[in-house]
Chain A
Amino acid sequence: MTVTSAVAVTGSQGLWFVSRGSGLVLLVLLTAIVVLGAATRAGWAPRRWPRFAVAELHRTLSLFAMALLALHVLTAILDRYVTIGWAATVIPFASPYRRLAIGLGTLAADIGAAVLLTSLLRSRLGYRWWRAVHWLAYLAWPAAFVHALTAGNDLRGGWAAVIGWGSAVVVAVAALPRPGTVRHRSAAPPPAGAQRRVPARQATRR
């Protein structure tokens, strides 16, 4: 069932439903992405999973999330019931309707776009710049969550609230700093006295 036929069948309500539904799915998806990203960084993988699987899944889900985000934003703008305006798709806090709530969503989307762009150009940008922008993702998730709480009423109660708040707990746990076993699990434990010193500013350029 396409968006246009949904509109035809139910009127503008169709766009609104797709926007809300895609928003909820996005929240869950972003949660999974953050968890996988933290796992990649810490070198954690489920038993029997190679590490590259965790990293690749993180990457694939992120690309999919960006596509779903485009749908979520598009349907929200096209829905005539409330006026959000095209500017608010990229400029945070530019929407006349629920300025703060929508603005946080725009902020999250902007950060997402920046993370995506820098990741696609990672080899050209160099590790340091890529990493600096990537850390902003930890800001994007809370912005998206508060947006989800305040832009609509869906997370006020019922199963949607369980999903929403459950995701928040999962992200909080995943974001906790923990001593990672960065080196491959097949590696021998570090010999006595070996203290890895990563200098503050690495010269990774050649």
Chain B
Amino acid sequence: MNHPATSPRATGSPARLLPGDRVARPGTLAGHLARHGTRPDCAGGGRRREELIGEVERAGLAGRGGAAFPTAAKLRTLAAARPRPVVIANGVEGEPASDKDKMLLAVAPHLVLDGAVGAAELTGAGQVVIVAHHAVVPIVSRAAAERRRAGQDSVPVRVMTAAGSFIAGEASAVVNWVERGLATPTGRPPRLGGPGRRPALVQNVETLAHLALILRHGATWFTSAGTPDEPGSMLVTLLGAVRRPGVYEIGIGTPVSGLIELAGGTTAPLSALLIGGYFGTWAEPDAVLPLPFSSAGLAAAGASPGAGVVAALPSTACGLAETARITRYLAGSSAGQCGPCLFGLHAIAGQLDRLAAGTGCDLATVQRWLGDITGRGACRHPDGTALMVASALRVFRAEARLHSRGWCSGTGAAGILPVPGQARS
């Protein structure tokens, strides 16, 4: 179990992005500068930029939006792009179960903006656009205004309110939103450049915050947390049957049980955990709790960190009912542009509703549909949903048998996982 590649160097809760208790007025520019110091100037000739991008590469920073694409590679590609790119900070967080991006923007907007402006200097971009969830737009706007008054940034920073849908957080949908006001994906494979006149560097806000710190403190500091293959810290959202649900910062590779402990432990015995978010994977507690929270570690349970969400399902809740609710939500959240996604997800949701209600469900057809929709949309919406549903059918197989006989293990809690537009019981 203690493979060198997965054994973490430093577990526990590093306080890098999220401020510790001692910091006063963390959201203000003064508070930010007091804690982190001034942002280093990253503009300059090609050689200086290449040096800094090399530092980011040595740090091994990967995207924190779910896809974990190496950040240095993106920076290098966009730095070579003509005409000058635009930096788009993705703080949309369309996933209802995830809170980390909203939390980060609420308590450390200046760190995110530092990273965005740094990325702009490294790629030669002429503008930064930060697309933020509506709940935190006032805070981010105030921070941007403060910086403008202080003459803090070498490029203009524009704040936009995100569209409110799930799909609005997808990378090409964010670019489409910025350029045309349409929060729909534009085609696969997702490209690093935008479809408009200027290529776009799209980065999750947490990735930019880490970038800001790497540019100040260097690669060696960054890799002092996390694992050798997946260095650094990350933000995770814990919800469900835990004492203190919320956003926590962990070193990558911390065991899942350690995450649960950070959140104060469980409030009830668990029947399953949903790892990664609504495009993630269900897993049995015994299978996943000992595993390190990293791509390599979770692979043993067929899971991956994704958007950093861990939802704990108590045994009093019904996993099939939760899955049916989420799938119905995801079907309704489809952009509706691609037939296989729209029709497939609704058809699957219909069958899952029947499964949850115990009125007879054609599981063989559902399995076939899950294969049919994978890879046939313009984005990963159907793929991600199919993975989640497939894992639910695996993990809750015994529950499905019970349902086919008219029984259900769920005795109390319902609506554990948040679905906008549907009331929680």
Interface residues, chain A, with chain B CB atoms under 8 Å away: 183, 188, 190-203, 205-206
Q: Contact between B184 and A199 (Cβ–Cβ < 8 Å)?
A: yes
Q: Contact between B339 and A183 (Cβ–Cβ < 8 Å)?
A: yes
Contact with A along B324-356 (1 / 0, CB 8 A): 000010011001110100110011011000000
Extra contacts besides A183-B339, A191-B343 (9): CB < 8 Å: A190-B343, A190-B346, A192-B350, A194-B342, A196-B339, A198-B336, A201-B180, A203-B176, A206-B187
Contacts of A199 in B (CB 8 A): 182, 184, 335, 337
Q: Contact between B195 and A203 (Cβ–Cβ < 8 Å)?
A: yes
CA distance A188 to B182 in the complex (A): 30
Contact with A along B190-202 (1 / 0, CB 8 A): 0000010000000
Chain B contributes a number of interface residues (CB within 8 A of A) equal to: 20
Q: Is the interface of A mostly helix, strand, loop or mixed?
A: loop
The 8 A-B residue pairs whose C-beta atoms are closest, nearest first, are: A197-B336, A191-B346, A194-B346, A191-B347, A203-B186, A193-B346, A194-B343, A194-B342
- A190 closest partner in B (C-beta): B343
CA distance A195 to B332 in the complex (A): 9
- Residue pairs across A and B with CB atoms within 8 Å: the count is 45
Q: Contact between B182 and A197 (Cβ–Cβ < 8 Å)?
A: no
Contacts of A197 in B (CB 8 A): 335-337
Q: Contact between B186 and A196 (Cβ–Cβ < 8 Å)?
A: no
CA distance A196 to B186 in the complex (A): 16
CA distance A206 to B71 in the complex (A): 24
B165-214 contacts to A (CB < 8 Å): 176, 180, 182, 184, 186-187, 195
Which of A193, A194, A201, A205 has the most chain B CB atoms closer than 10 A to its own CB?
A: A194
Contacts of B184 in A (CB 8 A): 199
Q: Contact between B350 and A205 (Cβ–Cβ < 8 Å)?
A: no
Q: Contact between A196 and B336 (Cβ–Cβ < 8 Å)?
A: yes
Can you list 20 A-B pairs, Cβ within 8 angstroms, ordered by A?
A190-B343, A191-B343, A191-B347, A191-B350, A193-B331, A193-B332, A193-B346, A193-B349, A194-B331, A194-B342, A194-B346, A196-B339, A196-B342, A197-B335, A197-B336, A198-B337, A202-B337, A203-B186, A205-B195, A206-B187
Contact with A along B117-149 (1 / 0, CB 8 A): 000000000000000000000000000000000
A97 to nearest B CB, angstroms? Answer: 51
Interface residues, chain B, with chain A CB atoms under 8 Å away: 176, 180, 182, 184, 186-187, 195, 328, 331-332, 335-337, 339, 342-343, 346-347, 349-350
Contacts of A202 in B (CB 8 A): 337
Q: Contact between A200 and B182 (Cβ–Cβ < 8 Å)?
A: yes
Contacts of A205 in B (CB 8 A): 195
CA distance A196 to B328 in the complex (A): 16
Contacts of A188 in B (CB 8 A): 347
A194 to nearest B CB, angstroms? Answer: 4
B149 to nearest A CB, angstroms? Answer: 37
Contacts of A203 in B (CB 8 A): 176, 186-187, 195
B369 to nearest A CB, angstroms? Answer: 10
- B179 closest partner in A (C-beta): A203
B404 to nearest A CB, angstroms? Answer: 22
* From A183, A192, A200, A201, contact of B346 by CB (8 A): A192
Contacts of A192 in B (CB 8 A): 346, 350
Contacts of B350 in A (CB 8 A): 191-192
Which of B180, B331, B335, B343 has the most chain A CB atoms closer than 10 A to its own CB?
A: B343
Contacts of B342 in A (CB 8 A): 194-196
Q: Contact between B336 and A201 (Cβ–Cβ < 8 Å)?
A: no
CA distance A188 to B335 in the complex (A): 21
A29 to nearest B CB, angstroms? Answer: 35
A204 to nearest B CB, angstroms? Answer: 8
Contacts of B337 in A (CB 8 A): 197-199, 202
Contacts of A195 in B (CB 8 A): 336, 342
Contacts of A183 in B (CB 8 A): 339
Contacts of B347 in A (CB 8 A): 188, 191, 194
- B184 closest partner in A (C-beta): A199
Contacts of A198 in B (CB 8 A): 336-337
A193 to nearest B CB, angstroms? Answer: 5
Contacts of A190 in B (CB 8 A): 343, 346
CA distance A206 to B193 in the complex (A): 11
A69 to nearest B CB, angstroms? Answer: 38
Contacts of B195 in A (CB 8 A): 203, 205
CA distance A206 to B343 in the complex (A): 24
Contacts of A206 in B (CB 8 A): 187
- B350 closest partner in A (C-beta): A191
CA distance A190 to B182 in the complex (A): 25
